[in-house]
Amino acid sequence: MAPKDAFGLAYSGATEAGVSSYARAVHELQCFIGDPAGSIDRAIADDPGFVMAHVFKGYLFGLATEREAMAVARSCHAAALPLAGTKHEQAHVAALGHLAAGRWHDAARVLEDVAIDNPLDALALQVGHQIDFFTGNARMLRDRIGRALPAWRKGMPGYHAILGMQAFGLEEMGDYARAESFGRQAIDIEPRDGWAQHAVAHVMEMQSRQQDGIAWMRANPDAWSNDSFLKIHNWWHLALFHYDLGETDAVLTLYDGPIYGDRSTLALNMVDASAILWRLHLGGVDVGDRWAALAANWMPKAAAGNYAFNDAHAMMAFVGAGLDAPALTLLEAQREAMRRNDDNAAFTRDVGHPLTLAIKAFGEGNYGEAARLIRPIRSIAHRFGGSHAQRDVIDLTLIEAALRAGDGALARGLAAERRLARPDSPLSALFSQRAADLSEN
């Protein structure tokens, strides 16, 4: 008989030792701590025929948004394909196959059905939730978890992660009060849950509660930063609160320390580094040679054409560093990406390519062109992934482009729009004042 986990799910090809390592990997992934890849490798070493261990590893690499990592995901799919012993496992293998081939939406749909049939399948829920994030599907970020939530109870292993994911989904759908409640409940159960920590930070970011956000992130940073592979993103959230307050020295201190002091070469971390430097760049802050170091790490990925969201952030670094050659390489890679038949072709065509062109135009001082390129994509920007907080950089770039282009009417309209959405934001007030000054001159 195949061993089962605490929820009664059977694991073909596994032994109790392998399931123990697998459970550890699941917990590490749910908290975004430790080394889930190492834990799952131990499970595979103990039980080479453990199909879900291969699937788990494939998911880890498939969600990395790195071209090289996708090759590992494909290898894991090939290893898992002949091993699946149940319909449940076969569905997971199919989902991994879609993900490894860049068919994000198909993978999400398969995992949706898996979780409908097995609402206690924590892996299906979490991987599906991450795919919803990478594809910008706010509705499913909420509803995928909401469907399963009635089957879960306090005391079940990983219950905190379900609450944390539900919190983020609620936040992305604008249900801020309930999102914060769910996120805080998750942290009360498991203080090391980095995703729940970040969900509450998102609420405070969207509500322009800068001081609350700083207090939330500063209350117990060891819990969400020690041995956490989400720590850079959570430090980035703290930097956003300081940025909105105009505290640029605090932002740069965070950048030079926990955000990019180690100069990570992982795309997910470099996205955060680019995003914070670009915000400072928009505000006219001199960031010194920071762009050069970041751009150097983006350069090997310029030709990847793997994930449009990454491309836009790489272009920020190339523009900031004044590097034309990798910028052109990136644009050519995007043109090649749009000729493929995977989901990134649409991510790139609909949002990523025009946004990347707009960032380049902004860097060249062609602010009117930057605004022209951004305006049509704002309402569909979710199609290339990320959160509302991350995609806010698009609006910030558009507002700054309108101001610098001297387009007073557009600047006033955009400033009024932002003031309505974020009335308590000092940055909103600054934009309104600059737009008013522009109109007077």
Determine the pLDDT at residue 216. Answer: 98
Structure tokens at 152: 């879960």
Q: Report pTM.
A: 0.97
Per-residue pLDDT of the chain (441 residues; tens, 9 = 90+): 789 999 999 999 999 999 999 999 999 999 999 999 999 999 999 999 999 999 999 999 999 999 999 999 999 999 999 999 999 999 999 999 999 999 999 999 999 999 999 999 999 999 999 999 999 999 999 999 999 999 999 999 999 999 999 999 999 999 999 999 999 999 999 999 999 999 999 999 999 999 999 999 999 999 999 999 999 999 999 999 999 999 999 999 999 999 999 999 999 999 999 999 999 999 999 999 999 999 999 999 999 999 999 999 999 999 999 999 999 999 999 999 999 999 999 999 999 999 999 999 999 999 999 999 999 999 999 999 999 999 999 999 999 999 999 999 999 999 999 999 999 999 999 999 999 998 776
Determine the pLDDT at residue 262. Answer: 97
- Per residue in 344-392, pLDDT (tens digit) is 999 999 999 999 999 999 999 999 999 999 999 999 999 999 999 999 9
| Pairwise CA distance, residues 263 & 269, whole Å | 9
| Burial (Cβ within 10 Å: 0-12, 13-18, ≥19) of residue 248 | middle
> Do 389 and 206 form a contact (C-beta atoms < 8 A)?
yes
Determine the pLDDT at residue 233. Answer: 98
Determine the pLDDT at residue 396. Answer: 98
| Pairwise CA distance, residues 20 & 11, whole Å | 11
State the angle between helix axes of 388-405 and 353-363 in degrees (0 to 180), rounded to the nearest 10.
40
Determine the pLDDT at residue 174. Answer: 98
Nearest to 359 by CA among 422, 428, 244, 279: 279
| Pairwise CA distance, residues 360 & 145, whole Å | 38
Determine the pLDDT at residue 1. Answer: 77
10 SS3 class: strand
Determine the pLDDT at residue 183. Answer: 98
